[in-house]
Amino acid sequence: MRDYKLVVLGAGGVGKSCLTVQFVQGVYMDTYDPTIEDSYRKTMEVDSKMFDLEILDTAGVAQFTAMRELYIKSGMGFLLVYSVTDRQSLEELIELREQVLRIKDSSKVPMVLVGNKADLLEERVISVEEGISMSSQWGKVPFYETSALLRSNVDEVFVDLVRQIIRNEMENHSQPAVTGPMSRKPTAQNLGNSSITAAAASLNQPKTTIPAPARADAAAGSRNRNKASGSAKSKKKKKNSCTIL
């Protein structure tokens, strides 16, 4: 079983903890308590393989931003979360993404852009199209709109991130080792057709995923968390390629 460390990043109040707890425990948190650092573990099956996930739910408030570098250094994949009701939360992700790329010293880091609170129709200030635009600017980073309240696309964002990590590992392992000072740096032209390379190619390439905004059962703008959490479970989709344990 492989161990993967995932890091959830974003401004305060965007629903990072709600997403994480909904994914790990299947419950909705209806109170806001600013996070300093919470770590969760979950075992899940993706594409017939088992993975042990450590999910780090990070602080979004300013006084804890100095701790982010440590989280980013240890992370293997990142959920960048904003709220569709808060324009500034999307703008803050631009700097967060740059920080991730700088610390990881790579332009290719497993990452998913997440627009949370899609059930708040009357409070929405960021359109789906703006999320698509940001995804395109970032090189078509996979993009989802989610609702932790309704459990809409919650599992999907984590599964997508795990698949990116798998693909990234396969691509890295497919590069031939340098055996001496005269060895050439691997390029697309001189990489061998190893079985690992073939396996990596067989995986679906990441795509920008634009689900329609979730619809709450209650009247628009209503946030009766206790009633809605029960209806959320009935909306959970069956997965063909992943099993959440």
In a domain, 46, yes or no: yes
In a domain, 164, yes or no: yes
In a domain, 199, yes or no: no
The domain total for the chain is 1
What's the token pair of residue 83? 């709220």
In a domain, 245, yes or no: no
pTM (predicted TM-score): 0.71
> Any idea what the CATH number is for the domain that residue 141 is in?
3.40.50.300
List the chain residues with pLDDT less than 70.
32-37, 60-66, 175-245
What is the rounded distance in angstroms from the CA atom of residue 49 to the CA atom of residue 210? 26
In a domain, 212, yes or no: no
What pLDDT, on the 0 to 100 scale, is given for residue 171?
87
In a domain, 203, yes or no: no
In a domain, 178, yes or no: no
Q: What domain range includes position 109?
A: 4-173
In a domain, 236, yes or no: no
What pLDDT, on the 0 to 100 scale, is given for residue 38?
83
Q: DSSP letters along 137-195, please?
A: HTTS--EEE-BTTTTBSHHHHHHHHHHHHHHHHHHHHTSPPP-STTPPPP-TTT----H
